[in-house]
Structure formats: structure tokens, C-alpha cells
């Protein structure tokens, strides 16, 4: 056998050999779809030159596998399988974007803020929580929320998970210490306080939305801080209290089979009907948790789509006073991706209905 000619080629071949061994061990006995997801992520991780989310995922999965933590390694790789390309688009480097950081007893988190050039009087504040392997810039570019904020006159802030807290950038929604008013939720609340003070936002119109792990943390914020958060948006996520550790998190992601906690604020849910990372059953659990303790809600249903876009079903539950307590969108045929997001973005499906616009409309954050 001919030896590799360069150090780079030697490193690549070593990575391929290690990947093959790890993948074979991890997929042994797995159901077909799960095994394919792991293999796809592993292949992407060794083929992406210079790193990136997929190769970072493979490195982290390798470390976890060596430590015998196979469930966690599988979760990392399944997330990477749907990561897609990380975009470099207008919006991520917006001249209007400023940076800040907040430090509290639970640590320090940085954040990205965009204030509109023509804001509403006492504008709403929208908090956007990114998913795993993403950061604030990538999430902003993928969702197009900067442009919506500029058009509608509200302030948007993107807190960023520290890689020291989670190597893959996931918010730790599945750990009990981050499911109440301490831990990471307290840091997000602290960021809200700083941004609100700087930009004079309306304290009664603070909304939190997120994708995947960020969506699960948004649900936690609605449950833990109903005095701060007026409503939440849960895109491809899970209900507050869905898990107590990594193992139960993976089980909930796979089947939604758990007992969720109670949400305390109105909630909009968006979920792909073919999501292979976070099962669509979780959308129903999020809706159930938001309806718990709110009797007498009337359900309505609307269907739409076609003409080159994805079909969708929208369910609404309206309370006896006429307020919409829950709005739930199922995007048929879509996977683990932000519906209506930017083409080429991280975890986006441009063919779906515009989740960013739907959330802003549900929150009532736009201009009258």
C-alpha cells in the first residue's frame, strides 16, 4: 500500500479510518433511518475541508464515543446530518448590528442586537435563540429576522450560547439546572434587561422564539419567566420540562413520549411534518402544555400551500375572551428546518410558509 504523500493526506486518511470505526460501532443495532443519519453526518464531517459544523460534530462525536457516551454522540451526529451549509449572506454582517455581553451568577453570554432605523414608539423586543451548531450571525441570516425587524420597527436580540457551556452550541434545555429561573434562562433574562434599558423597549411586549434547542429553551423561558415574556415561538422544538438529562432528551426528540410541564404564555408552534431530528409529535406536546390550565378554548383549522410551496395545516385554539392561546403550523414534507428561511441558510426550508412573519404576526409585534 502506498503511504500518504503529505501530512494533510495522512491526517485525512486517519480521520476516515477513525470515522469508519466510530460509525460502525455507533450504528450497530440501530434502526435504518437513525443509522443512515449517523452515516450521512460522518461522511460530511470527513469531507468538509477546514472544519465547519459537520466536521466539528464528528470530532465531538468521536470524543464522546471514546468516553463511552454513545447516546450523546448519536445525538450530536443526528443534528449534524441536517445542518446544511452555513451561509455568508447579507444580514449576518449588518452595519446596524451591535454586540454586547451579560454576566450573571450563571456565567457570561454574548449577544447580537439589531435596532430598526425607524422604530415603533416603545418598540417590542424579540429574543431569537439559535439552534445547535449555529451562532447569532448564522441564525439571523437564516431566518431573515433582521429585515423583518427593520420593516416592522421592533428590536431583535440574538443571545449566543458559549461553546464552553456546550461544545456544539446547544442551549442546555434538557438539564434541570437550566429549566427554571437560574442557569441559562437567567442569563437570557439578563440580556433582555440590558437591551430593554438601552433601547427603551416595551416591557409588556417581550417575545422569545427559537429553533430546535433554541426553541426548547424558548419554551423554558415562557414557563419560567411569565412575568417577563409575553409569548413564545417554538420552531422544531420541545416543550418545557421535556427531559431531565441527555438520555431522556434523545427519547423525547425521537418520539415525544414524555409528560411536558405547563407553559404559562401564549405560544406559536411551527414544525416540519417530516422532521427526522425532533419528531413532529413534539409540536402536539408543546400545544398541550400551552393549553394546560386554560379551559374552554375553541379549536379551528385552516389548510393552504401549493403553487410551488409546501402544503401546510394551521390549527388555532382561541380562549373564551377571544385571544389566540396557541397557533400551530405543520409544514407538510418539511424536515428539521426553519420554514420560509433563506436559501442556502443553516437549517432552512425556503419552500415553506414564512415562519418569521407568522411569529411576528402572532406576537402582534408589527406595526399597526
What are the C-alpha distances in Å from 64 to residues 61, 81, 194? 5, 17, 37
pLDDT band at 47 (very low <50, low <70, confident <90, very high): very low
| CB proximity list for 47: less than 8 A, separation 6 or greater | none
Could you tell me the pTM of the whole model?
A: 0.77
Q: At 150, list the grid cell.
A: 427593520
Can you tell me the distance from the alpha carbon of 238 to that of 256, in angstroms, rounded to the nearest whole number?
A: 8
79 vs 368 pLDDT, higher one: 368
pLDDT band at 46 (very low <50, low <70, confident <90, very high): very low
Residue 183 burial (CB < 10 Å; 0-12/13-18/19+)? buried
Q: Cell 414534507, residue?
A: 333
Residue 66: count other Cβ atoms within 10 Å of its Cβ: 11
Write down the pLDDT at residue 352: 96
The SS3 assignment for 221 reads: helix
Write down the pLDDT at residue 61: 59
pLDDT band at 315 (very low <50, low <70, confident <90, very high): very high
pLDDT band at 270 (very low <50, low <70, confident <90, very high): very high
| CB proximity list for 306: less than 8 A, separation 6 or greater | none
| CB proximity list for 121: less than 8 A, separation 6 or greater | none
pLDDT band at 51 (very low <50, low <70, confident <90, very high): very low
pLDDT band at 82 (very low <50, low <70, confident <90, very high): very low
Query: How does pLDDT run across 86-126, given as a tens digit for each residue?
Result: 333 334 445 489 999 999 999 999 999 999 999 999 999 99
pLDDT band at 56 (very low <50, low <70, confident <90, very high): low
Per-residue pLDDT for 66 more than 70? no
Tell me the percentage of the chain whose pLDDT exceeds 70. 73
Per-residue pLDDT for 174 more than 70? yes
In this prediction, residues 330-356 reach a mean pLDDT of: 96
Q: At 265, list the grid cell.
A: 404564555
In this prediction, residues 67-88 reach a mean pLDDT of: 45
Q: Closest by alpha carbon to 362, among 319, 311, 315, 326? A: 326
Write down the pLDDT at residue 84: 39
Per-residue pLDDT for 74 more than 80? no
Write down the pLDDT at residue 1: 42
Can you tell me the distance from the alpha carbon of 139 to that of 137, in angstroms, rounded to the nearest whole number?
A: 5
Write down the pLDDT at residue 235: 98
Per-residue pLDDT for 218 more than 60? yes
Amino acid at each position: 500500500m502506498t503511504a500518504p504523500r503529505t501530512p494533510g493526506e495522512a491526517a485525512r486518511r486517519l480521520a476516515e479510518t477513525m470515522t469508519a470505526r466510530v460509525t460502525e460501532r455507533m450504528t450497530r443495532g440501530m434502526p435504518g433511518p437513525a443509522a443512515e443519519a449517523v452515516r450521512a453526518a460522518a461522511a460530511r464531517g470527513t469531507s468538509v475541508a477546514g472544519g465547519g459544523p459537520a466536521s466539528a460534530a464528528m470530532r465531538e462525536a468521536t470524543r464522546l464515543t471514546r468516553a463511552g457516551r454513545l447516546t450523546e454522540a448519536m445525538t450530536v451526529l443526528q443534528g449534524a446530518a441536517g445542518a446544511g451549509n452555513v451561509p455568508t449572506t447579507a444580514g449576518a454582517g449588518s452595519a446596524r448590528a451591535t454586540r454586547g455581553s451579560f454576566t450573571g451568577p450563571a456565567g457570561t453570554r454574548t449577544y447580537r442586537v439589531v435596532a430598526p432605523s425607524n422604530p415603533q414608539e416603545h418598540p417590542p423586543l424579540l429574543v431569537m435563540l439559535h439552534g445547535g451548531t449555529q451562532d447569532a450571525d448564522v441564525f439571523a441570516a437564516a431566518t431573515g429576522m433582521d429585515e423583518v425587524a427593520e420593516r416592522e420597527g421592533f428590536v431583535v436580540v440574538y443571545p449566543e450560547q458559549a461553546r464552553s457551556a456546550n461544545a456544539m452550541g446547544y442551549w442546555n434545555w434538557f438539564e434541570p439546572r437550566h429549566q427554571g429561573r437560574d442557569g441559562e434562562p437567567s442569563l437570557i433574562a439578563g440580556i433582555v434587561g440590558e437591551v430593554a434599558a438601552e433601547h427603551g423597549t416595551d416591557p409588556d411586549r417581550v417575545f422569545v422564539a427559537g429553533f430546535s434547542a433554541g426553541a426548547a429553551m424558548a419554551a423554558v423561558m415562557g414557563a419560567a419567566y411569565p412575568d417577563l415574556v409575553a409569548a413564545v415561538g417554538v420552531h422544531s422544538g420541545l416543550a418545557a420540562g421535556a427531559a431531565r438529562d441527555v438520555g431522556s432528551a434523545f427519547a423525547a426528540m425521537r418520539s415525544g413520549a414524555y409528560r411536558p410541564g405547563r407553559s404559562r404564555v401564549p405560544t406559536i408552534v411551527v414544525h416540519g411534518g417530516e422532521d427526522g431530528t425532533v419528531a413532529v409529535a413534539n409540536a402536539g406536546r408543546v400545544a398541550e402544555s400551552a393549553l394546560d390550565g386554560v379551559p374552554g378554548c375553541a379549536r379551528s383549522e385552516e389548510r393552504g400551500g401549493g403553487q410551488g410551496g409546501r402544503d401546510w395545516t394551521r390549527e388555532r385554539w382561541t380562549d373564551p375572551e377571544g385571544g389566540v392561546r396557541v397557533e400551530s403550523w405543520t409544514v407538510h414534507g418539511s424536515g428539521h428546518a426553519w420554514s420560509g428561511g433563506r436559501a442556502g441558510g443553516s437549517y432552512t426550508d425556503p419552500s415553506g410558509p414564512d415562519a418569521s412573519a407568522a411569529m411576528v404576526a402572532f406576537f402582534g409585534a408589527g406595526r399597526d
